[in-house]
Amino acid sequence: MDYAAARKVMVDSQVRVNDVTDRSLQAALNSVPRERFCAPDRTFAAYAEVETEITPTRKLMMARDVAKLLQATDARAGETALAIAGPYAAALLAHLGLTVTAQEADAAVFEITGEALAEAGVTTVVAPVTEPSGGEYDIIVSEMAAPVRPEAWIKALKVGGRLVVVERPGPAGKAVLYVRGREGLSRRELFDSNPQVMAEMSPPMIFAL
């Protein structure tokens, strides 16, 4: 399979047509090998408009949605970023010149993606998704949806920091942008999206008699 040609088709047919106009981000999408973030027997679907499997319990977010999330951050070279359950997003941010940490709760994800992340200069950390590694980040992004507002992630932002995540408390999700200011926090809804939900962040079920 000609992966380079498939990347170009992906950018032209899935990304640019969905209002992703940032040329640097387009270049990153054309350069980062998405197939290296998929399970070995699923690389044929890396550039299809689907959530491709990484492990039996994890999938990549669709390229269109990753691109729209990252464009909303206005990422700049030299900034620091944390990608929680977002290995492909981590590699794209590194290509844009950011210092990036990729955090996963399941080490099996890095068994698939670790080599590509290391080559991209991304630091990898295995830790619960509810406990962001480090703090004072310019950007935090996730390729999985949060079933509740991710308060711990918001606290890990520096002033001026941006968090992009899909909030999905039910069947339908909404991508949102949080910006931490000196006087407080702003929130803006971006687009509809329904990626895989982080079960670890779900509140405990309460049974009433």
Tokens 């200069």 correspond to what residue? 121
- Which domains are delineated in the chain? 3-201 (3.40.50.150)
Does the pTM exceed 0.95?
A: no
Tokens for 152, please give them: 């711990």
Q: Are 162 and 178 in contact (CB under 8 A)?
A: yes
> 10 Å Cβ neighbour count for 196?
17
Tokens 């950018």 correspond to what residue? 11
**Sequential pLDDT tens for the chain (209 residues):** 899 999 999 999 999 999 999 999 999 999 999 999 999 999 999 999 999 999 999 999 999 999 999 999 999 999 999 999 999 999 999 999 999 999 999 999 999 999 999 999 999 999 999 999 988 999 999 999 999 999 999 999 999 999 999 999 989 999 999 999 998 999 999 999 999 999 888 765 555 55
